[in-house]
Amino acid sequence: MRVELFLAQRYLFRGKRRHFSLVSIMAVTGIALGVATLVIVTSVMNGFDHDLTSRLLSFNYHLVVESRSNFHLDVIREKIKKIPQVKNASLFLHTQIFAKFDDYFVPLLVKGIDFRDKEERATFYRFVEREVAKQGFFVGEGLTQKFFLREKIEFYPLERKLILKEKRIRGVFKVGLYDLDNNYLVCDLEEAKSLSKNYLLYVGVKIKNPWVVDEVKKEIEKRIDEPLIINTWIDANRVLFSALKLEKITMFVILSLIIVVAAFTILSILMVKVAEKVKDIGILKAIGFDSGKILGVFISQGVILGILGLLGGLSIGGGLCFLLKEYHIIKIPEEIYYINYLPVYIDYRDILAISFICVLLSFIASLIPAFKASKLSVSEALRYE
């Protein structure tokens, strides 16, 4: 195989200065651009997936348990805590208020957290940017900036008889997700219960490994013999992550066409090479090269072009990904995409897939001219020499 590779690189590099032909440079450039584009796009899609998952899991519960009998939830919580995979289980509630901001009325979701639970308190306080009081609402940073909130919030509780009330702003939190930072209020569990009788009480469960949440769900159903409504974080965000996955696959397939076009350039180059090297092929066969070795020479040329394009594309794509990740160069609308910059996460499995596709397409593109070269007979190749 060393001889085939030696001849392949001799045919690719031309003249005493050993330079690439223009068409070879164009083929390598086309592959490099295709690979770089694929690396950047897949890394950005992975970034959205990874960043959203990380933020959602850090603030929200991995599993939420609801019972029709609220007074049983304490018992249910204690049973859940005994499951080995469970990190923590605590009570929380959801209710709603209608906040009054001058002439605007905005429905906001109130989350009541049991601050007596040390684990629960520590988890939430990771997102608290400042605290100015001991009671009242923690307000999302986005909501604070949107309505210039300072000391208090006026609101109507979720009651039939609407009575305007007010509550002090206890502090400001920031999760980094638009919906949470702009539509959520957080307060102590008992304080949230006093807002209205119309609330829903749940058990929120944090798991040591969020990816085994379905196993924990089955274990809860097995241990607790009463009808429960159990929602996992995967169920709650299935539509979002399915959409991201579909977009990633679609973009991968479409952008792979750039490499396909570049592969056709390789095919054209090698067809010209075969026509140019008819005499060389005849001489090689006359001195003992069989069809397999001739095939190897021309396939090696295509694969070398593909690998050079691949290395160039990975360098360009990796460099741009680094810039996007470190400096947040491109800004995006936060209210649509949850975050205000392009997140980047390079997955080695995607890099391997892109590399495999690139080399495979280069190999396939070189097969036709290689077979044509290998089928030339010595007499036909040297007829006019």
pTM above 0.85, yes or no: no
Q: Averaged over 298-315, what is the pLDDT?
A: 92
Q: How confident is the model at residue 16 (pLDDT cuts 50, 70, 90)?
A: very low
What is the model's pLDDT at position 379?
67
Query: Cα separation of 182 and 143, whole Å?
Result: 4
The mean pLDDT of 11-36, rounded to a whole number, is: 76
Q: Judge contact between 344 and 42, C-beta under 8 A.
A: no
Segment 227-251 mean pLDDT? 89
103-155 pLDDT, tens digit per residue, is 889 999 999 999 999 999 999 999 999 999 999 999 999 999 989 898 999 99
Buried b (16+ CB within 10 A) or exposed e, 113-138: bbbebeebeebbeebeeeeeeeebbb
How far apart are the C-alpha atoms of 206 and 136, rounded to whole Å?
A: 25
Is a pLDDT exceeding 50 seen at residue 276? yes
Residues 254 and 95 sit within 8 Å (Cβ to Cβ)? no
The pLDDT assigned to 1 comes to: 57
The per-residue pLDDT for 185 is 96
The strand pairing partners of 186, in sequence order, are 111, 138
Of 1-15, 17-31, 114-128, which one has max mean pLDDT? 114-128
The dihedral over CA atoms of 358, 361, 364, 366, expressed in degrees to the nearest 10, equals -70
| Total residue length of the chain | 385
> What residues have CB less than 8 Å from 367, skipping those under 6 apart?
299
Sign of CA dihedral 191, 67, 184, 196: negative
pLDDT on residue 330: 87
Whether pLDDT at 93 is above 80: yes
State which amino acid sits at residue 121. Answer: R
- Of the pLDDT bands very low, low, confident and very high (cuts 50, 70, 90), residue 208 is very high
Q: Is the pLDDT of residue 192 over 50?
A: yes
In the chain, where the domains are located: 2-56+240-381, 69-226
Highest mean pLDDT among 79-88, 232-241, 253-262, 279-288: 79-88
Confirm if 280 and 373 have CB atoms less than 8 A apart. Answer: no
**174-184 tens-digit pLDDT:** 998 888 999 99
**Predicted local confidence at residue 380, as pLDDT:** 65
